């Protein structure tokens, strides 16, 4: 059965509740979404629909997950249960528990002038013109996965940086699952960096229960206006029973800079889509990814980068280390549009299979409609260097330690490209623990992580 049917039925049965608890701006997305999903043949992509071995998105959505239609308050206090995996990084922190945005005192008391971090519902009331200008205009609303998110989204998160404002401190958004029943969180994020502004964002996905199935349906839209700089690092450290379908859409204006780093440390089944449209001249784009697979984990990254203007450069590097019976997939497409001159674009996928049962599927691609370009792509998949392991053993390093050291060294160039202060060192530590088979979280989060409630005196 087409899994979309159960969600269409859910929406029709609860349409009044969903729309009354939302805002006109969000409700406006639902009209087109419903039209898209009701079309004959509309469906989420299956494993054989996309031309190669990829995640079956339709199977991810097939189970009967609960959706928080009524905005029920969670029975667990996030201030008591949340543990911070990156305590050494100084950030302005907000939580998204399930699909509900919860600010912290640190965030509200320290946001600089010109920077707004709030729920989409509040943003649509306080800055409706900005939200209407960008929400649903960057993502491809005709794709079933995006349309489903637009149909069921109850609220969301907006980060807005005003023209010329430089946000010095990174903004950290921690997504948390902690419900005792199988749940789908419908998460929507809008990031707007106006002209000549800059902001760094750190997204962290955490699952606090390993005995429950969860599904994360996430759509992130990022507008990088002329001369703006946006740096995004997205770290998933969830659980083997967490499924994630994340879709990131960005548009760049003239002379803008965009940097995105995706990191998968612990997961169950993950599909990340990155769609970057370079529409302005003189843009710089960096897209990196790092994935560590163990047990039966599945990690799938898809990138589409469109060069539509002149004198732009882009660079992509995705690395996987897969062990046990884990599965990895990478499909990347660089398209240089007709008339888009003097662009440089590079794409590389490098992989290590650390066991005989691990599998990797890779498909880098170029689609070029202009001669005045420099473009290249490539992929390599291999095993750990046995000669290097033997050499290290001869010098007294145990075999397991030698393997860990080689896998760590393989990921160094991705880690070193992370520009958020303190995060590179933290990632290096987390990666080392992951390769050693340790999934333990760090110590308790500081008091600055306390969510704001109605009783808090700000």
Among 19-23, 84-88, 315-319, whose mean pLDDT is lowest? 84-88
Q: Please tell me the predicted confidence (pLDDT) of residue 87.
A: 52
In a domain? residue 210: yes
pLDDT at 307 over 50: yes
In a domain? residue 454: no
Confidence bin at 456 (pLDDT 50/70/90): very low
Cβ–Cβ under 8 Å, residues 293 and 326: yes
Average pLDDT over residues 209-237: 96
Record the pTM.
0.92
Query: 102 is written with which tokens?
Result: 């919860």
Report the share of the chain in percent with pLDDT over 90: 71
Q: Please tell me the predicted confidence (pLDDT) of residue 457.
A: 31
Which is more confidently placed, 73 or 325? 325
Question: What residues make up the domain containing 276?
Answer: 4-449
pLDDT at 442 over 80: no
In a domain? residue 457: no
Q: Please tell me the predicted confidence (pLDDT) of residue 172.
A: 94
Among 120-129, 133-142, 381-390, whose mean pLDDT is lowest? 381-390
In a domain? residue 242: yes
Average pLDDT, the chain: 89
pLDDT at 91 over 80: yes
In a domain? residue 197: yes
Confidence bin at 272 (pLDDT 50/70/90): very high
Domains: count for the chain: 1
Tens digit of each residue's pLDDT (9 = 90 or more) over 27-72: 999 999 999 999 988 889 887 776 656 788 999 999 989 998 887 7
Among 224-233, 317-326, 448-457, whose mean pLDDT is lowest? 448-457
pLDDT at 395 over 50: yes
Confidence bin at 88 (pLDDT 50/70/90): low
In a domain? residue 156: yes
Dist CA 23 CA 92 (whole Å): 27
In a domain? residue 458: no
Q: Please tell me the predicted confidence (pLDDT) of residue 335.
A: 96
Q: Please tell me the predicted confidence (pLDDT) of residue 45.
A: 86
Average pLDDT over residues 295-301: 96
HEC states along the chain? Answer: CCCHHHHHHHHHHCHHHHHHCCCHHHHHHHHHHHHHHHCCCCCCCCCCCCCCCCCCHHHHHCCCCEECCCCCCCCCCHHHHCECCCCCCCCEEEEEECCEEEEEHHHHHHCCCCEEEEEHHHHHHHCHHHHHHHCCCCCCCCCHHHHHHHHHCCCCEEEEECCCCECCCCEEEEEEECCCCCEEEEEEEEEEECCCCEEEEEEEEEECCCCCCEEEEEEEEEEECCCCEEEEEEEEECCCCEEEEEEEEEEECCCCEEEEEEEEEECCEEEEEEEEEECCCCCEEEEEEEEEECCCCEEEEEEEEEECCCCCEEEEEEEEEECCCCEEEEEEEEEECCCCCCEEEEEEEEEEECCCCCEEEEEEEEEECCCCEEEEEEEEEECCCHHHHHHHHHCCCCHHHHHHHHHHHHHHHHHHCCCCCCHHHHHHHHHHHHHCCCCCCCCECCHHHCECCCCCCC
Tens digit of each residue's pLDDT (9 = 90 or more) over 160-219: 999 999 999 999 999 999 888 999 999 999 999 999 999 999 999 999 889 999 999 999
Confidence bin at 299 (pLDDT 50/70/90): very high
Q: Please tell me the predicted confidence (pLDDT) of residue 50.
A: 64
Among 2-16, 77-91, 391-405, whose mean pLDDT is lowest? 77-91
In a domain? residue 102: yes
């Amino acid at each position: 059965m087409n899994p979309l049917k159960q969600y269409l039925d859910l929406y029709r049965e609860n349409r009044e509740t969903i729309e009354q608890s939302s805002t006109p701006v969000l409700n406006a997305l639902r009209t087109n979404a419903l039209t898209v999903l009701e079309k004959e043949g509309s469906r989420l992509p299956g494993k054989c629909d996309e031309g190669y071995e990829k995640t079956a998105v339709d199977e991810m959505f097939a189970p009967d997950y609960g959706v928080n239609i009524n905005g029920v308050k969670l029975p667990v206090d996030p201030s008591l249960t949340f543990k911070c995996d990156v305590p050494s990084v100084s950030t302005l922190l907000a939580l998204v528990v399930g699909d509900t945005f919860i600010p912290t005192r640190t965030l509200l008391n320290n946001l600089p002038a010109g920077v707004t971090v709030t729920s989409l519902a509040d943003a649509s009331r306080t800055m409706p013109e900005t939200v209407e200008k960008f929400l649903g205009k960057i993502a491809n609303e005709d794709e079933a996965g995006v349309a489903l998110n637009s149909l069921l989204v109850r609220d969301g998160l907006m980060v807005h940086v005003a023209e010329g404002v430089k946000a010095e401190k990174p903004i950290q958004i921690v997504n948390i699952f902690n419900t005792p029943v199988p749940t789908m969180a419908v998460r929507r994020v809008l990031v707007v960096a106006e002209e000549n502004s800059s902001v760094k964002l750190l997204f962290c996905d955490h699952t606090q229960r390993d005995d429950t199935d969860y599904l994360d349906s996430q759509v992130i839209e990022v507008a990088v206006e002329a001369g703006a700089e946006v740096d995004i690092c997205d770290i998933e450290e969830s659980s083997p029973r967490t499924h994630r379908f994340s879709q990131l859409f960005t548009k760049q204006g003239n002379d803008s800079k965009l940097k995105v780093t995706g990191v998968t440390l612990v997961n169950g089944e993950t599909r990340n889509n990155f769609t970057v449209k370079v529409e302005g001249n003189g843009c710089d784009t960096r897209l990196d990814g790092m994935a560590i697979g163990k047990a039966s984990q599945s990690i799938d990254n898809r990138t589409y980068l469109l060069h539509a203007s002149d004198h732009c450069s882009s660079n992509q590097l995705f690395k996987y280390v897969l062990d046990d019976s884990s599965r990895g997939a990478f499909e990347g497409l660089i398209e240089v549009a007709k008339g888009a001159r003097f662009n440089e674009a590079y794409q590389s996928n490098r992989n290590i299979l650390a066991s005989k049962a691990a599998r990797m599927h890779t498909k880098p691609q170029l689609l070029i409609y202009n001669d005045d370009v420099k473009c290249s792509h490539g992929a390599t998949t291999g095993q750990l260097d046995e000669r290097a392991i033997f050499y290290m053993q001869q010098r007294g390093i145990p075999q397991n330690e030698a393997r860990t050291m080689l896998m760590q060294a393989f990921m160094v160039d991705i880690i070193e490209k992370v520009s958020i202060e303190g995060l590179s060192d933290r990632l290096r530590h987390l990666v080392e623990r992951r390769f050693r088979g340790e999934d333990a979280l760090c110590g308790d989060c500081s008091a600055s992580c306390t969510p704001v409630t109605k009783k808090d005196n700000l």
